[in-house]
Amino acid sequence: MGTILIIILTIALLQSEVQSKVDGNWTDWSTWSACAITCGNTTQTRSRACTNPPAADNGTDCEGTSDDYQPCLREPCPVDGNWTDWSSWSACSVTRGSATKTRIRTCISPPPAHKGTECEGASEDYKSCVHKPCRGWGPWSEWSSCSSTSGVGIQHRNRSWYSWPSFTSIDDLCDGDYTDVQICMPSAFDGGWTQWSSWSTCSVTCGIGLNQRTRSCTNPRPSTFGHHCEGPNIDVAICNKQHCPTSVRLRDGLLEIYVNGQWGTVCDDEFDSNDAKVACRMLGFDNTQTARLRSDVVRGNVSMPIWLDDLRCNGNEDSLLECSHNGVGTHNCNHSKDVGLVC
């Protein structure tokens, strides 16, 4: 009678525990947030919460995300035109009998786009100047460097005149421009590689690892209109091929391998002379012709892991771990199939 009561109570308790479990459920999505722009692009969001009901008493949480996004695309925004900086003043020049200096600017920084406004004001500016008499032009100077290093700019060159000893009449003035102005792009120069860094340390201390060296396209960094460096910025090489000294051992003929800080055994499924060759190589026997399975060994005991199963080495590997296998610790063997070995 007492026993039955206890069983009934237990069942009731279990049921109440099962029933009290509540899985989470999402609320409905909120409405989309407003698309509060008149031009350009943005995103709209909506959200929901896992409170309808919330998960309780070990019930599962809601699946999926609580936020959702959609793009809101409008016409491109208007771009108002903007003047470049003024060029420098030209030297004094005589045009139609009056001496002036000139400077220019253009509406390309940026040009107007998408119904943006034109630049306001004049693209040329003059001021009068005092002019000296001359008897002819000298050669043009080199072009000045571009006024902008990242976009469109202006550059100029000058020439000078040979002056008379004294001014006689307006006809002695040099006619024409003293300064020549043109639109320019900043000079494009290509990037160059730095030297390779030194090799990083090997990723392993024994066995096969990788190391790398790097370089960057900053010697120099390419200018806005220059080319990026060609080729990879990373170089990877195989390193440190010494055998790991303690990675395998034979104990009374039983092959043991050290993985994850623990000695374990190898299953003989698929184990053939190629696999034996690699194991013997790890033991320091290179190119042994006599590597073979040995059956008269004391098998590993149940407290040892079986690390490798279905080994398929081609015989050239430096470690059994490089051969195809089921994955470290994955096997369908017991210790009666442990590999024993003769090298």
Ligand X SMILES: *[C@@H]1O[C@H](CO)[C@@H](O)[C@H](O)[C@H]1NC(C)=O
Which residues of this chain interact with Ca ion, rule CB under 5 A? 269, 309-310, 332
d(C-alpha 79, C-alpha 115), whole Å: 7
Task: Give me the least distance between CB of 303 and Ca ion, in Å please.
Answer: 21
**Which one of ligand X, Ca ion, none is in contact with 25 (Cβ closer than 5 to 8 A by kind)?**
ligand X
Cβ distance to ligand X smaller for residue 17 or 175: 17
CB 69 within 8 A of CB 45: yes
Task: Give me the least distance between CB of 336 and Ca ion, in Å please.
Answer: 13
Cβ distance to ligand X smaller for residue 73 or 210: 73
Cβ distance to ligand X smaller for residue 227 or 249: 249
Dig out the tokens for 329 from the structure.
């610790």
Helices (H), the chain: 2-20, 273-282
d(C-alpha 184, C-alpha 77), whole Å: 27
Helix, strand, or coil (residue 287): coil
* DSSP 8-class letter at 33: P
In a 13 Å sphere around the CA of 232, the CA atoms on its Cβ side amount to 6
Cβ distance to ligand X smaller for residue 90 or 323: 90
Q: Which residues of 212-224 are buried (b: 16+ CB within 10 A; e: fewer)?
A: eeebebeeeebbe
Residue closest to Ca ion, measured at CB: 269
**Which one of ligand X, Ca ion, none is in contact with 335 (Cβ closer than 5 to 8 A by kind)?**
ligand X
Cβ distance to ligand X smaller for residue 85 or 118: 85
d(C-alpha 282, C-alpha 262), whole Å: 17
Residue whose token pair is 């369908």: 332
d(C-alpha 187, C-alpha 184), whole Å: 8
Cβ distance to ligand X smaller for residue 74 or 241: 74
Task: Give me the least distance between CB of 165 and ligand X, in Å please.
Answer: 23
**Which one of ligand X, Ca ion, none is in contact with 158 (Cβ closer than 5 to 8 A by kind)?**
ligand X
Contacting residues toward ligand X, per CB under 6 A: 17, 25, 28, 40-41, 52, 57-58, 73, 76, 82, 84-85, 88-89, 91, 109, 141, 144, 157-158, 179, 263, 301, 303-304, 334-336
**Which one of Ca ion, ligand X, none is in contact with 52 (Cβ closer than 5 to 8 A by kind)?**
ligand X
**Which one of ligand X, Ca ion, none is in contact with 212 (Cβ closer than 5 to 8 A by kind)?**
none
Cβ distance to ligand X smaller for residue 306 or 321: 306
Cβ distance to ligand X smaller for residue 17 or 67: 17
Task: Give me the least distance between CB of 270 and Ca ion, in Å please.
Answer: 7
Residue whose token pair is 């026993």: 3
**218 CB contacts (<8 Å, ≥6 apart)?**
191, 194
Task: Give me the least distance between CB of 30 and ligand X, in Å please.
Answer: 13
**Which one of ligand X, Ca ion, none is in contact with 22 (Cβ closer than 5 to 8 A by kind)?**
none
- Determine if the peptide bond prior to 245 is cis (ω within 30°): no
d(C-alpha 230, C-alpha 242), whole Å: 35
Task: Give me the least distance between CB of 120 and ligand X, in Å please.
Answer: 13
**Which one of ligand X, Ca ion, none is in contact with 42 (Cβ closer than 5 to 8 A by kind)?**
none
Residue whose token pair is 């089921």: 326
Helix, strand, or coil (residue 314): coil
**Which one of Ca ion, ligand X, none is in contact with 125 (Cβ closer than 5 to 8 A by kind)?**
none
Maximum CA pair distance of the chain?
140
In a 13 Å sphere around the CA of 131, the CA atoms on its Cβ side amount to 29
Task: Give me the least distance between CB of 294 and ligand X, in Å please.
Answer: 18
Task: Give me the least distance between CB of 283 and ligand X, in Å please.
Answer: 18
